[in-house]
Amino acid sequence: MSPAFPRLGGGNPQLRPDGRLGHLLSIEGLPERILLEILNTAESFLQIGERAVKKTPTLRGKTVVNLFFESSTRTRTTFELAAKRLSADVLNINVATSSHNKGESLLDTIDNLMAMHVDGFVMRHSEAGAAHLVARHVDQDAWVVNAGDGRHAHPTQGLLDVFTILRHKGPVDQLKVAIVGDILHSRVARSQIHALSILGCPDIRVVAPKTLLPAAVEHLGVRVFHDLDEGLEGVDVVTMLRLQQERMEANLLPSSNEYFRQYGLTDKRLERADPDAIVLHPGPMNRGVEIDSVVADGPRAVILPQVTHGLAIRMAVLTSLAGARDRDLHRDHG
């Protein structure tokens, strides 16, 4: 195996020396041009889902491994479908029945898969930084996509959220966006905040009880609200977050009912937002805990379009990563 990513150095391990995307590990620190490239490519892929034959040959001959150490429905299936629509071969590793469950280390698992000459990994893990570790370990011709690592980052979710906002509300440089709920445990919130900031959103708000906010969150360039009505005042976009009870090490809330009373999004509370405001939720939703069904199923919800957009974004990310590698191979052997 080649030394750990010898051609990726400097301050951002996901960029190649020529500035192209080598891995997608976090939105933080990415140049705006890379975000725009992915968003524009995703726009072209949206049309493929409407065709009779929903395939392109873009990744023909490539092998993509889905390696999920945490449960997932939308992210894993849309990554699988994205790779298949690009004509890649896809391996879904069932971690519960793999050698990892017998004590094999993460990097030994990766080494064995690399010995099968796979091209890329899509990985979710409960530990922050796991995807970075793998990216520095794999052969220089392979790439890694972080599909969520602990509380740290979920870059494709951040991209698909912004893509949804752009399609429904236009450029973000005039918008007010409120992100509501369990900010403390949310990799989705961090990724969306970084994406909005890079694209120039002037008013990003986080709304949550003090127990569900990370320390010094305002350093991310957000305004902090503890009152939902104040936080929603005049916003164009509302992103509701799931309460991540499985990551809470202590009882941070009195009860789900009390949380819904103070922070649950209802039709009445949505009246505080702009009349044309849209509502996002990354899923899975806890109806009656963070969002009322009347809102979740209402005309301002764009929750199912987020899923559709997620497929297009993941096709765009896989295309960008595989394309960068192919250009290098053609240059080296051309």
Catalytically active residues, by annotation: 74-75, 102, 124, 154
Q: Do 176 and 235 touch, CB atoms closer than 8 A?
A: yes
Hey, what are 166's tokens?
A: 């752009």
Burial of 22 (0-12, 13-18, 19+ CB in 10 A): buried
Which residues are bridge partners to 153 per DSSP?
149
Q: Radius of gyration over alpha carbons of the chain, in Å?
A: 20
Alpha-carbon gap, residue 238 to 270, rounded angstroms? 9
Q: Which residue type does 112 have? A: N
* Distant-in-sequence, close-in-space partners of 115: CB < 8 Å, separation ≥ 6: none
- Residue 259 tokens, joined: 């949380």
Could you tell me the two tokens for 15? 């960029």
Instruction: Measure the CA dihedral 76/163/13/241, to 10°.
Output: -60
- Report the DSSP beta bridge partners of residue 123: 67, 146
The sign of the torsion formed by the CA atoms of 72, 66, 279, 152 equals: positive
Cis peptide before 202 (omega within 30 of 0): no
